[in-house]
Structure 1
């Protein structure tokens, strides 16, 4: 009966995700198939509905997103690598400033203990920060809620910022729709192999964000080589986005409404602080490199790699530049966070 209940909970979550995605699409919401399920499932979790994120589907759909991102890579992009130098040079300074602002908020406003505040403030991957924080003695539930809130709030605020401040609208239209019959059987086989082998090779090679980065690399290779000329079918990509959005929203299940609202409130202040720092750094890069502010901002916005890459693709920005910056950000955080915490702890 317990197994049946779990399937029912997952089915309810996916149903809410699909309905929320359709509603988001109907009202013209940017990134509706991910943002809609995120908001709908979060509301369901706060209302106490028995929703369970489709965690078993996530490892299946994440490589699909990697293949999609790789389809946007062209040979011309490699000629732009030199122009990314300033972004990568300033990245450690940005991470230090953003994490410092976020830590101050979690420590002073949220009243978190130093360990929990430190790992809640790090703009890295949720799973990695949760494991490292728990191992260091932090409150794993608060760390998980902090990062879930960060991803949710970053996407929501970035969409508002692009629409209201920068005036950038979604680059996706009906012309970008890829029907199922647009791909030949060989295209499906090649892209399927990119997804499966990319995820496996990514883990074997210990690549950061392996389930996304591995398939993205292989997909980029086959598209640059001209073996495949189309992206994965839109219906498959929409399915992947619904699953990802539902998983993010369902992370708030099990927490009380008061706890969720408090943590989202503190997380909102911390995230706004990080985004303010991101805007300052993006302005600097945009002015010096004569780069669109929207592109530089997306590269520094402290969201998840998968979510920010999808948002970049939807808004018609440079997917390779943004994805590579986020991959390096996550790698830096994972590699440096434990040593930084030990240094910070000694100083404290």
Structure 2
């Protein structure tokens, strides 16, 4: 099969899996379902392919959606989050150390590959830095793909099956039909998505394709230039694409490699998540922030995916997004500096 039919098949499977997960009431069903289904298909070497070309078009939709949740009340609480940031620094050090132990001692990776595989954030950045430092690029890529897969799956299933948190496809704000938006709404939201990308790159933000549109959308909603979120159908389509891309990251690797890396990813991510739980309880005891919200902020998944989980589970999206943005910035800046001093 050529790439186009493979992509179509992956998206069709993703849509069916998302519908099933939605019927089961799982949090973030339209991304979690496609992600798990296409991971299994990748392991089985099914004829699927990642719709990577669609990713740059759907990420701004998510950014605009997340920006629509920002309010003046949330911005007024920025000062309350300083302690969460302060606790994040030792959390990242302990989490990275635990993950490094897994890849170095259990996985037998060389020190460079183990180090950049263990860093809790910045998949693309860690891949580039690790390869430039002499690490095994494929192992670093699979390690971070495994981390994101395991963390998102665990957190999503934990909230749904253990905490009994349910979500709908319309997330926390209800279903937004295409007909709900006026031409003016379409213009503002579309403008935030299109203009936000170069703005994010100009400001040199991590994940500029998401954070740029999120920033402009937040400003537009704060100024009441627009009051609605993007249509739910577009949001669902974006999540299906994202989940499918994540699931197909394991394509091209052997079943043995995938099994080994996912197994190490389970151990590494479990160590990070256990550390995140401990630090979440510590931070919650020092602030008025709920443990569930701090845990989401410290869970080392992808910025976009964890922000979507926060929205789906009714948590403070701005809080979670900002903490993950800071996590990625800290890791990107600190990882090479610490590596040079090791």
* TM-score, reference length from structure 1: 0.95
Q: What does 1:120-199 align with in structure 2 at a 5 Å threshold?
A: 120-170=117-167, 176-199=174-197
Q: Which residue of 2 aligns with 1:290?
A: 288
Q: Which moved more, 1:218-227 or 1:120-129?
A: 120-129
Cα distance in 1 for partners of 2:229, 2:279 equals: 32
Q: Is the CA contact 1:172–1:316 (under 8 Å) kept in the aligned structure 2?
A: no
Verify: 1:62 aligned to 2:62, yes or no. no
The CA deviation at 1:168 is 3.5
Verify: 1:45 aligned to 2:42, yes or no. yes
Unaligned runs of 5+ in 2: none
The CA deviation at 1:25 is 1.6
Cα distance in 1 for partners of 2:321, 2:163 equals: 21
Q: Is the CA contact 2:170–2:176 (under 8 Å) kept in the aligned structure 1?
A: no
Aligned partner of 1:79 among 76, 80, 96: 76
Q: Which residue of 2 aligns with 1:305?
A: 303
Q: Which moved more, 1:98-107 or 1:163-172?
A: 163-172
Q: Deviations over 1:282-327 (max 9, x none)?
A: 1011111122111111110000000000000000000000000000
Q: Which residue of 2 aligns with 1:242?
A: 240
The CA deviation at 1:173 is 6.0
Unaligned runs of 5+ in 1: none
Verify: 1:5 aligned to 2:2, yes or no. yes
Tell me the matched-pair count.
Answer: 341
Cα distance in 2 for partners of 1:291, 1:113 equals: 40
Q: Which residue of 1 aligns with 2:222?
A: 224
The CA deviation at 1:203 is 0.9
Cα distance in 1 for partners of 2:21, 2:57 equals: 24
Q: Which residue of 2 aligns with 1:212?
A: 210
Cα distance in 1 for partners of 2:168, 2:119 equals: 31
Q: Which residue of 2 aligns with 1:265?
A: 263
* TM-score, reference length from structure 2: 0.97
Q: Secondary structure at the match of 2:228?
A: coil
Cα distance in 1 for partners of 2:63, 2:45 equals: 33
Cα distance in 1 for partners of 2:131, 2:310 equals: 32
Q: Is the CA contact 1:67–1:194 (under 8 Å) kept in the aligned structure 2?
A: yes
RMSD in angstroms over aligned alpha carbons? 1.4
Q: Is the CA contact 1:33–1:238 (under 8 Å) kept in the aligned structure 2?
A: yes
